[in-house]
Amino acid sequence: VQLQASGGGLVQAGGSLRLSCADSGRTLKSYAMGWFRQAPGKEREFVAAINWSGGNKAYADSVKGRFTISRDNAKNTVYLQMNSLKPEDTAVYYCAADRHFRVVAGTDKSDYDYWGQGTQVTVSS
């Protein structure tokens, strides 16, 4: 599995970005997928997760109501729509894949087996 995250950039507070995560070489449709982020000097933290079918989703409290995770299995892609961005959302965002076919998507780093390279999101005030 080789995950490629994209869509990061610089945006003003209140703006929106959509991150994408895809694997060109392997189907992701049986994997639960997660987004995590890591700000400078901080631990990598959970942001959002979605199970293989899209029927179960989880969000960190800090992003509930602002971020939406979704997936298009036909396109082999997972998305993170980020609205009402805040400066504290600034971080490198990583997508991750869980090969264990969980019904409930995991929210811990240890639940995930494969990680993408990360994409930088910077929110200016």
Q: Could you tell me the pLDDT band of residue 103, with boundaries at 50, 70 and 90?
A: confident
Range 55-64 average pLDDT? 97
Range 63-86 average pLDDT? 96
34: closest CA among 64, 3, 13? 3
What's the pLDDT score for residue 3?
Answer: 93
CA 51/CA 123 separation, integer angstroms:
28
What's the pLDDT score for residue 94?
Answer: 98
Helix (H) or strand (E) holding 38: strand 32-38
What's the pLDDT score for residue 27?
Answer: 79
What's the pLDDT score for residue 26?
Answer: 74
What's the pLDDT score for residue 95?
Answer: 97
15: closest CA among 88, 70, 63, 82? 82
Tokens of 70: 């979704």
pLDDT digit string (tens) for 16-41? Answer: 999 999 987 777 888 999 999 999 99
